[in-house]
Structure 1
């Protein structure tokens, strides 16, 4: 497969103008990043959702910069032709600008991300402006902001009334003015999300925000049900049940080992050259002959 041309923030604005939806999915490791890139996903997000779906936490709050850097670096190795965004974790951008920029620097230099994502509205606009002045693209995130879930009273849909819709619009415009290249709208009513999308010159990326956004993002583990005891979500469409497939495969492996069905004769080797070639590959044979 020929290498694709990576997305960039100029192309994203052009896609918005032309009505070409932007595709985004989370990724946390090398093989997932490879598969997503091969599938044509245009943006990958190393979300702090890794706390829930990879690290086993009950929220995103315990996720650290070290966690994001580690997983971003793996994703960057697997998807070298895809635009990569990494989350700034909880409380890493609410102190001094110097402290914030140190976290951003690590994510960009060590994690090899192309951009960072911050949760919050007008109250973080100055921080967004400082990061963009430093030459780092920023993807904003409003609506349901999981890092603030305790403050906003749980996982509640946002923008249900005129006042709340206006608040979200004001936040989106402040973030656009601060230099954000796009805004994630999470768990926002469809009408409010469409209204915000129509009033911005930068793309909106929806998750649980309906059909009017300029793009969509989902958590990889939701898309393929890569988990045990999956909890259905109204705003998610699952496209495969990888969790069940993996569980079944492992159950069969355990059974075959216990019954001595595996390994079978074809999985064993005799001490001859043919077996060595099968074990190490033809390359080894060629090297030995050379």
Structure 2
């Protein structure tokens, strides 16, 4: 429950406190009961307080994704993303939301060396942001780490299939699980992280029948991205979903043309500045008569 009052007039990006409890990790985990999820989980990425404000009423989970490396910072991949970036953006998303559970991606190099390294990194992210949990990539190799974090009070969402942090090893962003051997490996990965105690699994960029098999095989919710409508929930990068970029992955449905709206607004503004039509009567300060 909110126990404070904020003067929302002093900040564009300060949400009005609402008497509502955030969705909890156990509540999300319980969405899947006896292998079925009656109400699919809605997840989108968020990186800023204002973006979180707009998405929060419609989502169950806001993911502070390491995709911010490309979306916000213009980096070529997620590999250069740092803990500093993730902590700062995680805190911003928490400030802009009050309903959704917020989880933060652990960036490349912050958790793979050992469970102890992963705990130190995850603890920092949760301390500095207030988020509910973390997400990390990897299957069987990360099972011990997931169990280690869970035993120490840190909820973990796993991520299998196409794992962007491993793009150099995978050789690209193509769909995974096309052959029987790779499909079997990814299914085994999903079972391993589920057995280790993750509260959910993001399954990215896999063949539809493999996503269906994973969803049926594990007790925790499976969140699809480029996977299957039969998954227990879905996630997309918000900027892809609203059309901020010219190119979007095959598995993305564009629900808006945000880039077009921004470009048109900027063009109209530029034209009015150059013609001295802006600022107009309503945008300038003059002495009262």
Return the TM-score normalized by structure 2: 0.90
Deviations 1:210-248 (A, max 9, x none): 212100000010111124xx1032100111111110111
The CA distance in 2 between the partners of 1:172 and 1:178, in whole Å, is 10
Which protein shows a greater Rg? 1
Count matched residues: 270
Q: Is 1:258 the counterpart of 2:271 in the alignment?
A: no
Once superposed, what is the RMSD of the aligned Cα atoms? 1.5
Q: In 2, Cα distance between the equivalents of 1:20 and 1:146?
A: 28
The equivalent residue for 1:57 is: 75
Contact 1:117–1:139 at 8 Å: present in 2 too?
A: yes
For residues 186 and 217 of structure 2, the distance between their equivalents in structure 1, rounded to whole angstroms, comes to 12
Q: Deviations over 1:27-82 (max 9, x none)?
A: 000000000013x2110001100001100001000000000001000000001221
Out of 231, 254, 269, the position equivalent to 2:247 is 231
Other structure's SS at 1:110 match = helix
Cα drift, residue 112 of structure 1: 1.6
1:30 alignment counterpart: 49
Task: Flag structure 2 segments of 5+ consecutive residues without an equivalent.
Answer: 1-15
Q: Secondary structure at the match of 2:63?
A: strand
Matched, 1:115 2:151: no
Task: Point out 4+ residue stretches in structure 1 off by more than 3 angstroms.
Answer: 1-5
Q: Is the 8 A contact 1:6 1:42 kept in 2?
A: no
Q: SS of the residue aligned with 1:79?
A: coil
Kindly state the Cα deviation for residue 272 of structure 1 after the two structures are TM-superposed: 2.5
Q: Which of residues 198, 214, 220 in structure 2 aligns to 1:196? A: 214
Separation in 1, partners of 2:180, 2:235: 25
CA–CA separation in structure 1 for the residues paired with 2:261 and 2:54: 17
Distance 1:3 1:204 in 2: 30
Q: CA deviation at 1:3?
A: 4.7
Structure 1 counterpart of 2:181, from 163, 179, 191: 163
Q: Which has the higher helix share?
A: 1
CA distance in 1, matches of 2:282, 2:111: 57
Unpaired runs of 5+ in structure 1?
A: 274-290
2:13 match: none
Pairing 1:237-256 to 2, within 5 Å after superposition? 237-256=253-272
Q: Per the alignment, in what secondary structure is the counterpart of residue 141 of structure 1? A: strand
TM-score by length of 1: 0.89
CA drift of 1:111 comes to 1.7
